[in-house]
Structure 1
């Protein structure tokens, strides 16, 4: 688990210095994670997760709620990648807070405000999806054989 995924901790490793063609960039570049000092090897743990440590590590806007409340796991990195992807796609962060609304000592109104911003971001994503995007997603899901129930749920959405 990286524990601090955000745009500033994602880099691109180029194959060499100097000018590169677009084809070389596509084929030979690698995306790498930076700032690994807070990373944890969860593979050695029976439950593959750590207890929460409110206020320890990460940047507020990229922390999964369960990281502060329940546990720290690889899922927290997936959440942070989703927030980063949103930021790359839409050019802004989906919700910004100066303090973490998920810390146990924070007032409830901060969580309600976070939920409102979260719902707004999800609605914006759903509105922006084009029919072709939905078709592509369904095709990708069918390839990985996720099952009929998930496909039906996506088609209803």
Structure 2
């Protein structure tokens, strides 16, 4: 996808961890699952984790910049999976932290970030890609071919050991 003039995509580095953490917080605020006040204490925790995960490759970040300022991003993590006859890969990709600053939306940045993320998945020889879609992003993901999974996720949160 061609980006508008002044925009560029690039890989995130450990130095970008604070920007990625702020985008993650804004994503949860935009979805209405966190208030800005509730998101603020998470940002340092996410920043510390992202710095190490970006350095190790555990997290792959893609950033959109406008005139040198980060205005959007998307992330990828790779998880083990059991191979099948249809797909012998032993890893799957999960897209997360897709976010574009409100002032830069409706310019194709989310689509460009997703395209770059899917290219990274293909370059690794993987076919399985999952994500959790916020209502704002659902039309973009559906245009790319994402569909509802037949295996809904269930979650259990255990109390920490006493």
| TM surpasses 0.5 | no
Structure with greater helix share of residues: 1
Greater relative contact order (CA < 8 Å, ≥ 6 in sequence): 2
TM normalised by structure 2 equals 0.28
Structure with greater strand share of residues: 2
Structure of greater Rg: 1
